[in-house]
Amino acid sequence: MRRPRRRASAPAWLALAISSLIGAAAPGPSYAADADTIARGKYLAIASDCTACHTLPGSKPMAGGLPIETPIGAIIATNITPSKTAGIGDYTLEQFSAALRKGIRRDGQMLYPAMPYTAYAKLSDEDVAALYAYFMNSVEPVDQKPVETKLPLPFNIRLSMAAWNLLFLDGKPFTPDASQSAEWNRGAYLVRGPAHCGACHTPRNLLMAEQASKELAGGDVGFWNAPNVTSDANSGIGGWSIDELVAYMRDGHAAAKAQAGGPMAEAVENSLRFLTDPDLRAIAIYLKSTPAIHDPADTRPAYMWGGPFDDLASIRGVPLPRDRDSWSGAQIYDAHCATCHQDKGQGSFDGKLPSLLHNTALGTTNTNNVVAVILQGLHRQPDVLMPAFADALSDKQVATLGAYLIENFGNPAAKVTVDQVKTIRAGAVATNSNLVLIAQAATVAVPLIVIALLLIWISRRRGRRQDASGS
Amino acid sequence: MERRHSRPPLPTLRPDASPDPLRRALLVGFGATYVLSLVPFAWAQAVPDAAMAPFMALSAVLVGRPSLDPAQAKRLYDALAANDPGFPAAAKQLLDTVEQRKIDPMQLQQTLNDENSPLKDLPRQVVTAWFLGIVGSGKNARCVAFETALNAQVVADILKPPTYAYGAYGSWTRNPAEGPDHG
Amino acid sequence: MADILSADYIVVGSGIIGSLVARKLALAGASVIILEAGPRVTRGELVARFRNSPRRSDWMSPYPPADWAPHPIYQPADNGYLIQAGPYPYPAEYIRQVGGTTWHWAAQAWRNLPNDFRIKSLYGVGVDWPIGYEDLEPFYQEAEEIMGVSGAPNTGSPRAKPFPMEPVAEPYAMRRLRERLASDFPVVANTTARNSRPYDGRPACVGNNSCQPICPVDAQYHGGLSADAAEAAGVQLIANANVYKLEHDESGKVTAALYYDPDKSSHRITGKTFVVAANGIESPRLLLLSTSDKFPKGLANNFDMVGRHLMDHPSTSLTFDADEDVWLGRGPQSPSSINTLRDGPFRSEHAPYRLDFTNISRVDGSTKSLIAAGVFGPELEKRLRHSAAREMNVKNVLEVLPNPDHRITLSSEKDAMGIPKPETHYSIEDYTRRGAERSQQDFRRIAELMGGTNLRFSKDGDFANNQHICGTLSMGSDPKISVCDEWGRTHDHENLYLAGTGVLPTSATCNSTENALAVALRAVTHMLAQQGATSAPPPRDADERVPS
């Protein structure tokens, strides 16, 4: 693969356009832009969900500071407000573009791909310029620098990202497929570019790069599972209509299908619900066209499991055990869940308190999301609030409840264990010390191996020369 | 667009229960033509246990429903019999009385009161079990059904039983005649 | 009896008042211990108990009394804990468990009207409070921001700042009342501690219609949340601690609280300041139990005022069938009322009142009535649906004047722990009866405007008890006719404070909790000033109180 040696430089006509707007090619960064461009930039920033990482909840927008947990440690998002001392105030458009699409900072250091520059590489030049205009003009500068990221050796050597980029960064912006409709192309652009769906929904390889051959086949975000959203009828969203997909992205739920929780709830809350209807349709059209990636274990779609199950009649008049760990699944469901999800799991009349039947959350074999939502609840602006039950339920109760829910409303092959509950209750993914150790060992071992090989090669050469010359 | 919504369907037979001709014959064999006239489809009712047949027929008459959930019936019957071992016999006796004298359900309580019948508490007990899900009285009262009690079922198109959420915040502002907001 | 547990403040009672007093003290840096007679219970258990109850309309059935901390229950039979000496019964219901009685209230959180503080001066009845509305105003606001209160604006109680959120959405049935009564009565949204949006990490109301006896989702504020908040603020809460006596030194300063655990072992806790917040019956009971050579009549009782001036808000009501389908039971239980009859010159003649409209589902009640009336067969279902769709009810909430003969005393009977039971002496006076009589006109007019048929008035002479136990620890400036001053500080003991609805010297016409809470929060500022501390900074701006 050729080295992406070329520096990011705007095409000449764009530079001309910008300089004509500002009157002259000034030496320092020039921000001026018209209101339409800024508005478009704002929309793109929402579509790209910059705020998800770059805004600490409750703090000033884009000021950074949010630690993003990865298996190799926490990566702290930077301040991308136009502050000259703490943010990107001194970035030129070219530098902004390089950061966004190549993962290269103004000072030449590389960014970790927790910043999804591999996706933003697809952004068009016009869109990058609009984003730049928005950030430089509309975002309030915040002169406070967040803590620097400190990863363990060897991951703290940012230059190693150069090698990673060599392998995994496809530096080309999105090229439309002429054989597809404009709508499809818009969808493809959004999914692969700004909305960077694959960052969560595509499985990653050992070196934590998205596996292109398995685009959107499902991935993990900490303990949350981002499901397969390829066009497969059983494993993916093949059975969803366009309207259902649009409803899910816009409202955070689709009746008799699913609702967004955890990180997806945030994606809907911060980004997707603000996209235009045509853009959401385009995304849906694209998703439904993706190559179907099928897991043979999926014998039916995740939303087709479960039937109304009425256990509560059998516990009426039965006293509750004193020890809460001895409560049956039906008793736990009755005391804590039936209130909103109703006695047969059918949800409220208006569907706003969701049905547990025909609900992908309970139909998948990966049960992490169910446990996570029971423990943490589900908050989604503007008005969705399922409370957290971490305080109300013990680990054993969550496991009993999880098993009860899945057995009655979901996929009977799925399991919930007490250990799983303990792990998820403990919170963010712990640093994967194995991975770190392996990498550290490799850092030491690989050069030693290379040196050893060199020595062997040298001694062989000498040997051959001696053979050749001697005797 | 005006939304019309219908009452929930009456509880149906379990799919795997086939009406046992023997059980059917039991009811018809009572010569229960009057009772059957009150609840025409009772003959098709699956009965888990032959001893329950009079209770089922009596229940159907008293609650005015031709078809009753057999699992629920079993639960109630067991609870009623546990509360009073004489209950099964008394139920049969009352059923016979109603049949022989062709007593209209609305006249039944008055008739039993007037005669100071030993069976006068029975209709109340049966109906309280089905409609309120409660068996026994005073300190011996026990809940055997709540959501599945008939009084909850009868209004289930408009109301939820207390403690069950109605819907998202504000969902109670609509005129119930318009049906629920399906979002 | 080896414990030597001690704190700056010992609070007896973990109900909404006791817990929020303790919390405010702890936030100011004081060490605080709450002693609660009853056990801890979780919300999930309460929901399950309700659903499994054979007496769903008995709102005490999810709250069985503990043997070591009994409270009165009346179904299936009167447990004989609260002795009724008459002439009129006072069958109060209260809950001795962590969080207290507001686990099962309807969350009505009204402020008094300004004139309620001066009915003696204005109308020649009752007594004047030692403080005015303006003294309490900022503490009403504080209480409302803690609890998450909202309601119709302009119901007669002036506000300096807005409610923390919008009023709760109006059920269809109440809207029809409001529309059809508009010619004669303004029907307004109740002022309630019920979320109309997510607040403080708790969801908005989702219409469970079971506020009494339990809100399954904590959209309604209650004492259980207060107790949690107190513990989160650093208060040490000891449950199953039935305080049976307060001890004092030679100077009359209270020095210790003695309590029984469930095995009837006695424990002793010492402190610098004591706050009794154990509801309007158990608090005077404790004071009366705390006899000694120096105080043979009990504590704070030099002029024999403890337990006197027992009051409540009695109710009579009218049930009728409206001429349209309104379907009560959708949304919260107490959404709307008429508040224009709470004040006026007539107060010198008869009791003022609010008119409360219920939104409690009619289903269980109608089912029982129809079965009792022998309605069987298909007619039963038909009539049940009709009642469920059309039945409505309005009740009055009447003021009762303070009368020293209405009181709580100690009975000669003893409870399971060997402690004398509380005894009530009560009657309904003419002032209140005249108010009830006057309200009948309003009941009839309301039924008329709703096309009402099948009018069923509550039995003549029957007044329902509303569990608003006030007056028994009346505050006032004259020690001869009151138990404590405007700060809740007992006249007789400098380090003994009282907090709770018992402290309110008149009942006025609105539910007591908000008023008692505002009085208590104000009292805390004084308690802290006495110890040289300042109270915590004002609570965060209401806008910030959103879930993270």
The per-residue pLDDT for range B46-61, each reduced to its tens digit, is 676 778 888 988 999 9
Exposure string for C311-321, b = 16+ CB within 10 A, e = fewer? bbbbbbbbbbb
Nearest to C54 among B62, B143, B170 (CB): B143
What spatial distance separates the first Cα and last Cα of chain C, rounded to whole Å? 45
Which pLDDT band, with edges at 50, 70 and 90, does B13 fall under? very low
Q: CB-side exposure of A113: number of CA atoms within 13 Å?
A: 25
Backbone angles phi, psi at C118, to 5 degrees: -140, 40
State the pLDDT at residue B5.
Answer: 38
Omega into A154 within 30° of 0, i.e. cis? yes
Low-confidence ranges of chain A (pLDDT < 70): 1-32, 428-440, 442-443, 465-471
State the pLDDT at residue B18.
Answer: 46
Percent of chain C at pLDDT > 70 equals 96
State the pLDDT at residue B31.
Answer: 61
CA distance C46 to chain B (A): 11
Based on the structure, what is the number of domains in chain B?
A: 1
Q: Is C87 on the interface with A (CB under 8 A)?
A: no
CATH of A305-426 among 1.10.760.10, 3.40.390.10, 3.40.309.10, 1.10.8.100: 1.10.760.10
What's the mean per-residue pLDDT of chain B? Answer: 82
Omega into B70 within 30° of 0, i.e. cis? no
Residue B17 pLDDT exceeds 80: no
Chain A CB contacts of B146 below 8 Å: 312, 316
Chain C CB contacts of B151 below 8 Å: 363-364, 367, 384
Written as one letter, the residue type at A310 is: D
- Largest pairwise CA distance in chain A: 101
User: Would you call B67 exposed, middle or buried from its count of C-beta atoms within 10 A (0-12, 13-18, 19+)?
Assistant: middle
d(CA B42, CA B58): 10
d(CA B166, CA B146): 16
A383–C44 C-beta distance less than 8 A: no
Chain B CB contacts of A353 below 8 Å: 165, 167-168
For the residues C260-271, what does the mean pLDDT come to?
A: 96
State the pLDDT at residue A410.
Answer: 83
Nearest to C371 among B128, B154, B155 (CB): B128
Whether B61 is in a domain gets the answer: yes
What's the mean per-residue pLDDT of chain A? Answer: 85
d(CA C136, CA A108): 63
Lowest mean pLDDT among A204-208, C238-242, C349-353, C382-386: A204-208
Written as one letter, the residue type at C114 is: P
Domain range enclosing B71: 21-166
B163–C50 C-beta distance less than 8 A: yes
d(CA C444, CA A367): 59
Residue C123 pLDDT exceeds 70: yes
Return the beta strands (E) in C155-232 as ranges.
187-189
Cross-strand bridge partners of residue A423? none
Backbone angles phi, psi at C116, to 5 degrees: -60, -20
d(CA C279, CA C285): 10
Which pLDDT band, with edges at 50, 70 and 90, does C517 fall under? very high
Residue B44 pLDDT exceeds 70: no
The token duo for C541 is 């701006």
Nearest to A313 among B142, B145, B167 (CB): B145
For chain B, the chains sharing at least 3 beta-carbon pairs closer than 8 angstroms are: A, C
8-state DSSP, C113: P
User: Of the listed C222, C248, C468, C491, which one is catalytic?
Assistant: C468
Q: Mind listing the pLDDT tens digit for each residue in C143-198?
A: 999 999 999 998 999 999 999 999 999 999 999 999 999 999 999 999 999 999 99
For the residues C310-319, what does the mean pLDDT come to?
A: 98
Q: Is A58 on the interface with C (CB under 8 A)?
A: yes
CA dihedral for A266, A267, A271, A273, sign (positive or negative) = negative
Nearest to C216 among A315, A339, A385 (CB): A339
Q: Is C45 on the interface with A (CB under 8 A)?
A: yes
The token duo for C8 is 């700056």
The residue written with tokens 């630690």 in the block is A67
Tally C-beta pairs within 8 A across A and B: 63
For the residues C385-396, what does the mean pLDDT come to?
A: 98
Nearest to B63 among C170, C197, C380 (CB): C380
State the pLDDT at residue C492.
Answer: 95
Under a CB-based contact definition with an 8 Å cutoff, are residues A232 and A292 in contact? yes
For the residues C193-208, what does the mean pLDDT come to?
A: 95
B160–C209 C-beta distance less than 8 A: yes
- Non-local (6+) Cβ contacts of C356 within 8 A are C190, C315, C334, C337, C394, C395, C396, C397
Under a CB-based contact definition with an 8 Å cutoff, are residues A33 and A39 in contact? no
CA dihedral for A242, A247, A252, A255, sign (positive or negative) = negative
Whether B159 is in a domain gets the answer: yes
C217–A339 C-beta distance less than 8 A: yes
CA distance B165 to chain A (A): 5
The token duo for B18 is 């086939």
CA distance A334 to chain C (A): 6
Written as one letter, the residue type at C392 is: M
The token duo for C462 is 């029957």
Whether B158 is in a domain gets the answer: yes
B162–C50 C-beta distance less than 8 A: yes
State the pLDDT at residue C544.
Answer: 39
A383–B146 C-beta distance less than 8 A: no
| C222 catalytically annotated | no
Which residue of A243, A250, A316, A318 is the best one to mutate when testing the B interface, meaning the one whose CB has the most B CBs within 10 A? A316
Three-state SS at B22: helix
Give the fold, CATH level 3, of A182-297: Cytochrome Bc1 Complex; Chain D, domain 2 (1.10.760)
d(CA C366, CA C356): 20
d(CA C103, CA C527): 27
Residue C541 pLDDT exceeds 50: no
Whether the pTM exceeds 0.90: the reply is no
C546 vs C275 pLDDT, higher one = C275
The token duo for C128 is 């004047």
Whether B15 is in a domain gets the answer: no
Residue C336 backbone class (left: φ over 0; alpha: ψ -120 to 50; beta: rest): beta
Chain A CB contacts of B136 below 8 Å: none
- Measure Cα distances from A287 to A148, A166, A245 in Å: 37, 28, 9
The residue written with tokens 């971490």 in the block is A390
Three-state SS at C329: coil
Residue B12 pLDDT exceeds 50: no
The residue written with tokens 């120096």 in the block is C294
CATH level 2 (architecture), domain A18-116+124-156: Orthogonal Bundle (1.10)
Whether B177 is in a domain gets the answer: no
Give me the interface pTM, i.e. the ipTM. Answer: 0.92
Whether B70 is in a domain gets the answer: yes
Q: Mind listing the pLDDT tens digit for each residue in B101-122?
A: 999 999 999 999 999 999 999 9
Whether B176 is in a domain gets the answer: no
d(CA B103, CA B125): 18
State the pLDDT at residue B181.
Answer: 64
Which pLDDT band, with edges at 50, 70 and 90, does B29 fall under? low
d(CA B82, CA B76): 10
C539 vs A202 pLDDT, higher one = A202
State the pLDDT at residue A357.
Answer: 86
d(CA A354, CA B183): 12
d(CA B71, CA B11): 11
Three-state SS at C470: strand
DSSP count for chain A of H helices, then E strands: 20, 8
CA distance C169 to chain A (A): 14
Looking only at the bridges linking them, the beta strands covering A67-70 and A73-76 are antiparallel
Residue C105 pLDDT exceeds 90: yes
CA dihedral for A36, A37, A40, A46, sign (positive or negative) = negative
Q: Is A379 on the interface with C (CB under 8 A)?
A: yes
Which residue of C200, C206, C548 is the best one to mutate when testing the A interface, meaning the one whose CB has the most A CBs within 10 A? C206
State the alpha helices, DSSP H only, in A155-291.
160-168, 182-192, 198-201, 242-251, 262-270, 277-287
State the pLDDT at residue A327.
Answer: 96
Whether B3 is in a domain gets the answer: no
Backbone angles phi, psi at C254, to 5 degrees: -70, 135
d(CA C19, CA C27): 12
The residue written with tokens 């795997």 in the block is B16
State the pLDDT at residue C391.
Answer: 98
CA distance C205 to chain B (A): 6
Lowest mean pLDDT among B12-16, B41-45, C159-163, C449-453: B12-16
